[in-house]
Structure 1
Amino acid sequence: LDQLEEEVESLAQQGLSDTIGSWLEQIPEELRENRPRLLLHFANYYVRRGRNDEAIQILSRIIEVFRETSEHVLESRALMRRSVALRTKGATQMAVRDAKQALAVAREHGTVQDQADAHSHLGRAYGTQGKFPRAEKELKLALAGYEEDGDLFQLSHTNGILGLAYTEMGDFSKAVNHYALAVQGWQQLGNEGDLALTLGNMSCLYYEQGRYKESLEIGNESLAKAKVTNNVRTQSFVCANIGDVLRELGEYEDALGKYDQALALARDCTLAPMISYCTINSGETYRLMGEKIRAKALLKEGLVLAHELDQEKERGLAYTSLGIIESEAQNAEEGITLLDKACELLARAGQKRSLALARFHMAHVFFQMQDYEGAIDNLRQVAALCDELGHVRFLVEDAKNAALMVQYAEASDSSLEPLFAGIRHEMNRSAGETSDVAPVEADGKENDEPKSESIVPIIEVKAFGQTRIYLEGNPILNTAWGTTKAREMFLYLLHRGGPVSKNEVIEALWPQVSTSKSNSNFHSTLHRMKSALRPDCVEVDGEHYQLNPTWEYALDLRNFRDTLLHAESLAPNNPERARYMTQATESYKVPVLEDLGSAWCNQLRTDLESVFWKAITELSDNQKDAGDTRGSIAILEKALEIDEYQEDIYQKIIDLYIEAGDSAAASRTRRRRASLFGETVNLFFDSPQTKDSLP
């Protein structure tokens, strides 16, 4: 076994993990268990095979062994391998944690190469999160260490990953240089498996550059090599990229087929980041096909996973598609909010192409809202991004659907002429035509005349659903606030409605922060709030602060409460009571004050939820008392579409169905409740009537 350990180390340096795995599988388990060095390589083999849970179990065990025996270099290496398994599994924050811990150990106890390895793993973990600028920094540090050590395998590997990071950030010249070095290294080493991955990354580069034919050619070459070497992860990645290319070419059914292949492969090897990517891009493909309902379902499913994995790029892609869907459904305000989130995430991830696309759609929504200044500002940012990317091919289809905006912008700002000239050139090249952007019929919303002034509340806040704040009718974007605390300070002062002491504000926003730090936070946040609104938005009286009382404010939460209070002031038999209650409940949406988790927000949510369900119950009971059982059920089921986690409401519906003689519907509702809360919920919530009527 001592000799085998030496042989395994030699094979590991050549990247032959499959050979190592086949050898180690032949060793009895009881002998392997006493050889933590061999287990380290065996775990690496499991990772490459997609058996991440087994790898994590082994690595967690031997990390403790290496700590106890003070074998710090091996501890660092085991932490890195666990980082890979966690990253592949989708636990990216834990992967970053392990890589940082490995780096700390390597700095204290390891060689230059050990430190380079740790930087490399940290860079890859950041890359999985879509945080490519951070990934670039770590990978460049890794590359410097490998160059000093002369490790051709790691040099090739890191050059390939750096190439991908630069591809994602739109720095194509640097990407090409690093890919060339990686390919040269893999060919020199005869490593077909990792060569397949690098070729797959190059396919992604050609896609980003709009060179779709070359992307497909090299993608298929990569896929063939990945199949020969049985590299499932590379196969999944390449299938997804081919799907992207086919979607851009308008071959939607074929694109969906490739995404399905990529998803199946990703699930086989528990590649969670790829699952979220393919789910979101399948949703975008269905959006382009006009199947909006299916698109939204997939986009939201992928977005949930992307949130869990802390993936900035994927979240940005999902918000872009959802924003487009909302704006096309005439929900311009919702569209702007979602697209603004997308831009924030994509900018942070260094995603120039995707950011340009999101900005273009935001410009179009602003144009439809007759906010021409907002449209031009976003188009200028699109032009700058496309100039850095070196092509505009990915904007062609969207430009066709925004012809009036294109005509208006080109006539209004000469600096945008190169952008639209490039788009027309791409249109002519693909269609073989020489005409300008084809005109479209006006839909009654696009208009090249400036909007007339209208009387609107100075400040309007919509806190149901996506939180949106408007100043004189214009949305205040997330980037204008600087931090979420600046927006929260404004909302807290608005909620209080009068003078509030500085200490009360601090207690609400920074309850666990030291006095000196909280004072600093207060003043910097107040400055940001004034910058987002106006310098005179706050009135100060000593240590008390309130929003400018001369301004007008409209808050949907307040309207909701006021309408319900008015309804409750009316007699139970007054038909106006039910009308006002219905009006209020129809305005209620979740989430309330999205992204804010302070205690005052949580209490407000609880209070609003309580009065909402109280009103819903009264409206439902009124219908039941009037003999309209189906109407009573309809009110409750519609309310559950807003908030489905209400065990007692399900029970009311079940009992109503039983009263109506519809046992099948009662059983379906009972099963739905069990699927949400677990089978044991029926033991606690089943009424005597339910127990007697349903099996």
Structure 2
Amino acid sequence: MESEGRRLLARCGVRAAVEWVERVPPAERSAAVHCLHAEALALAGDLDAAAAILLPLADDPSPDVARLLGHLEYRRGRPRQALEWYARGPADGLLLAWTATAYWATGDEAACREHADRAWRAATASGDRRALVASHVALGFAAEMVGDCAAEQHHYEKALDLAEAADDRVEAARMRANLSSRLLGEARYAEAAVMADAAVAQAEAVGYLAVLGIALCNGGDALLRLGDLDAATDRFDRALAVEHRIGSQRLAYPLAGLGDVHRVRGRTSLARAAYEEAIRVCGTGGDRQGLVPALVGLARLLADQEPDVAAELADRAHRDAKGPAAIRTLLALGWVAVGKGDHAAAADLAGQAAGKARLHRDRARLAEALELVAVARPARARVSLAEARTIWADTGAEPDARRITVLLGALPHAGADDRAAARAAREALAAQGIPSPVPGDPVVIRTLGRFEVRVAGEPLPRSVWQSRKARDLLRMLVVRRGRGIAREELGRLLWREDSDRVAHRLSVALSTVRSALDPAGDLVVADQQTVALDTGRAAVDLEDFLADAQDGLRTGDRGVLAAAEAAYTGDLFEDEPYDDWAVALREELRAVYLRVTRTLAAGTADVDEAAYYYQRLLAKDPYDEQAHRALVSTLTAAGRHGAAARARARFADAVRTLSLS
């Protein structure tokens, strides 16, 4: 085991190595065999068992013991504690390489470079293959921090060649995970996804859980950009399970990835929860690789609605970010500046981000910087957005290319081709479950419960409408859900007559609606025959409710279903229920809400939760016999006989009322 154990681990994997070590009686295992056992357990994700083996050897640690104890802390997402262990051991090439890696994780560029160089010299002098592989990885990290992309890729590829030449499948899995990270950094998403899948397959084959989680996250990031959101979610969920099993603070990586998926899908509450959990998980361990993306994601999410909170998050991220991670933080600061109305600062930050993105070959962040320029400098919007779209299309990031196409179609004086492309892009995004961007100050239209319109966050007073007819016109257009309605029909519905005067009145009402919502006139689309509301350019609560409800019912995602249920704050135009033209949509929305609530009630084993949703359902439909019976049955099965009796009495009252009527 002393002479061949490491080769067995490299070629046959973790399970084989553990099995062979455990054939040796514990009393007969040397320190070298104990280290091999601990290393195999650590690779398999059993960090506590590995620590139990190593800690008795820690009083005067050998390089292997110090390296492995530091490695355990590094795998837990605590690089600062890892450095404390690395400093206790005699420095050989392998220990120096892992020290450089920990300094990379903390963002210490100078220390990373120093220890990577020392590791290379020591490994070259000793001829130790493992040390050579690790030193190339450390040199790759050091190159990444200063934007030397060619050197970074060279060192990763060299490390992979060395690992494969020695048939070291364990190290080869780690190298493929690193290469997938490099490909992600250059926005080579399709290649990154393939490389990440190869790393996942190899890590699973050898039982290398510590790398498996990273490779899954890299695959998730690539698939998210490529537009396969379900597959991306699967990768992040699997990575989350792996990191839970290990007990690692690297839970932050998949949590931030899930936050990104939710943000892209427009699920802001779920995104916020994921980002905030990722930030809590990171704690004070010093792992900027997990912390910075979560801080940036949350700052971007809150930039419009809570700019002061977003500013604190972005500032914190910028203080912690080093190397290419700083590009993300500059962009987050730029969007916060936009949220605060400081477009000059946003333009300056976009310029800084673009410069760093070019240095690091980061095409994705360059495209994002161009999008920020388009908002901060409207005169350059068309040119900047067109270039951003070209970059996204070249990288294969179709959802981002479509998102920019929507923005181009919404620019003032956009041509017919741009508008047609924008409509097609909106449809394609909707098919992927991705909401279209709302350019400029969003218009929010609330129809569930009390009718209300907000522009730039402020509710419009009734006086803005000048007459009830203009307000009713907007309500009719909302009910049509983006479909056109003939001018003659609008005239009959609003004034119950058909005359030349009606056409003039309708033009006046249209002008009032446009002035209130959208002075540029693009939100309300009208020609000589029809009028329509461009629902892709306004946030309409009933559209959001239907999208979440349909998605939740399709996937069974209780978080989405619960969000849809909570979003249903009342029936359509509940404060004005007597308009015949709204009845059909009101009943459709109500039926969808009842289905969502019934699904939530029936799909949980929690008695309180089930009872809550059944009661919500009965509040909306007191005569739903199925819901009454299910509520009584649920309470009775849980032994809550008093509550069941009261529920049974309400059921009887409902039946009696129906009989009387």
Q: TM-score range by the shorter chain?
A: 0.5 to 0.7
Q: 1:379 aligns with which of 342, 350, 374?
A: 350
Cα distance between partner residues in 2 of 1:378 and 1:244: 25
Q: Is the 8 A contact 1:280 1:318 kept in 2?
A: yes
How far the C-alpha of 1:142 sits from its partner, in A, is 0.6
Does residue 1:338 correspond to 2:313, yes or no? yes
Which of 228, 236, 239 in structure 2 is aligned with 1:262?
239
362 and 6 in structure 1: CA distance in 2 versus 1, 3 angstrom threshold = closer
Counterparts of 2:409 and 2:111, CA distance in 1: 42
1:98 pairs, out of 76, 79, 85, with 85
C-alpha separation in 2, matches of 1:42 and 1:338: 42
Cα offsets for 1:526-561 (capped at 9, x unmatched)? xxxxxxxxxxxxxxxxxxxxxxxxxxxxxxxxxxxx
Shift of 1:206: 0.9
**What's 1:304 paired with?**
280
**Structure 1 CA distance for aligned equivalents of residues 270 and 13 of structure 2:** 43
Which of 53, 57, 78 is equivalent to 1:58?
Answer: 53
Q: What secondary structure does 1:290 align onto?
A: coil
* Structure 1 residue aligned with 2:73: 86
In structure 2, what is the equivalent of residue 43 of structure 1? Answer: 38
The alpha-carbon distance between structure 1 residues 165 and 361, as it changes in their structure 2 partners (threshold 3 A), is same
The correspondence of residues 284-683 of structure 1 with structure 2, limited to 5 A, is 284-329=260-305, 331-346=306-321, 349-350=322-323, 352=324, 354-394=325-365, 396=367, 403-408=374-379, 422-426=387-391, 429=394, 437-440=408-411, 443=440
In the superposition, the TM-score normalised over structure 1's length comes to 0.54
Quote the Cα distance in structure 1 between the aligned partners of 2:136 and 2:235. Answer: 27
**Shift in Å at residue 57 of structure 1?**
2.0
Task: Find the residue that maps to 2:207 and give its secondary structure.
Answer: coil
Secondary structure of the corresponding residue to residue 206 of structure 1? helix
Shift of 1:361: 3.6
Q: Secondary structure at the match of 1:182?
A: helix
1:226 matched to 2:191? The reply is no
Which segments of 5 or more consecutive residues in structure 1 lack a partner in the other structure?
68-73, 107-113, 412-416, 447-663, 666-695
What's the offset of the Cα at 1:442? 6.5
Q: CA deviation at 1:84?
A: 1.0
Between the aligned partners of 2:390 and 2:101, the Cα distance in structure 1 is: 38
Q: Deviations over 1:140-199 (max 9, x none)?
A: 221121112222232123313433554466431111210221122122111122112211
What is the CA-CA distance between 1:238 and the residue it aligns to? 1.0
Deviations 1:115-149 (A, max 9, x none): 32221221222334454553343222211211122
Seen in structure 2, the aligned counterparts of structure 1 residues 58 and 443 have a Cα distance that, compared at 3 Å, is same
Superposed CA RMSD: 3.4
Offset at 1:241? Answer: 0.3
Relative to structure 1, is the Cα distance of residues 132 and 314 closer, same or farther in structure 2, using a 3 angstrom cutoff?
farther
Residues 409, 268 of structure 1: alpha-carbon distance in 2 compared, 3 angstrom cutoff: same
Matched letter for residue 29 of structure 1? P
1:470-501 Cα shifts (integer Å, max 9, x gaps): xxxxxxxxxxxxxxxxxxxxxxxxxxxxxxxx
Gap change, CA 1:136 and 1:22, over 3 Å in 2: farther
Q: Distance in 2 between matches of 1:39 and 1:427?
A: 50
Name the SS of the counterpart of 1:379 in structure 2.
helix
Q: What corresponds to 2:456 in structure 1?
A: none
Q: Does 1:118 align with 2:113?
A: no
User: How far, CA to CA, are the matches of 1:218 and 1:428 in structure 2?
Assistant: 21
Determine which of 13, 18, 23 is the counterpart of 2:20: 23
Matches within 5 A, 1:213-252: 213-252=190-229
CA distance in 2, matches of 1:362, 1:59: 44
Deviation at 1:239, TM superposition (A): 0.8
Q: Shift in Å at residue 240 of structure 1? A: 0.6
Identity %: 18
Question: How far 1:205 sits from its partner (Å)?
Answer: 0.9
Paired AA for residue 274 in structure 2: L
Go from structure 1 to structure 2 and tell me whether the alpha carbon gap of 1:444 and 1:400 turns closer, same or farther (over 3 Å shift): same
The Cα of 1:217 is off from its aligned counterpart by 1.7
1:421/1:133 Cα in 2 relative to 1: closer, same or farther (>3 Å)?
farther
The answer on whether the counterparts of 2:375 and 2:381 sit within 8 Å (CA) in structure 1 is no
Shift of 1:443: 4.1
Contact (CA 8 Å) 1:335, 1:365: kept in 2 or not?
yes
Specify whether residues 162 and 273 from structure 1 end up closer, same or farther in structure 2 by C-alpha distance, changes over 3 A only.
farther
In the alignment, which residue of structure 2 is the partner of 1:160? 137
Deviations 1:369-402 (A, max 9, x none): 3423312221220121122123433454786587
Asked if the contact 1:339–1:362 (Cα under 8 Å) also holds between the matched residues in 2, the reply is yes
Contact residue 116 and residue 142 of structure 2 kept, 8 A:
no
Please name the residue that 1:612 is paired with: none
- Retained in 1: the 8 A contact 2:86–2:95? yes
Q: Structure 1: how far apart are the matches of 2:393 and 2:174?
A: 35
Partner of 1:484: none
Structure 1 residue 203: Cα displacement: 1.2
> Is the 2:79–2:285 Cα contact (8 Å) retained in structure 1?
yes
SS class of match (2:58): helix
In the TM superposition, what whole-angstrom CA distance separates every residue of 1:194-245 from its partner, at most 9, and x where no partner exists? 1122112111111110111111122222222222222222222111101011
Q: In the aligned structure 2, how far is the partner of 1:356 from the partner of 1:204? A: 16
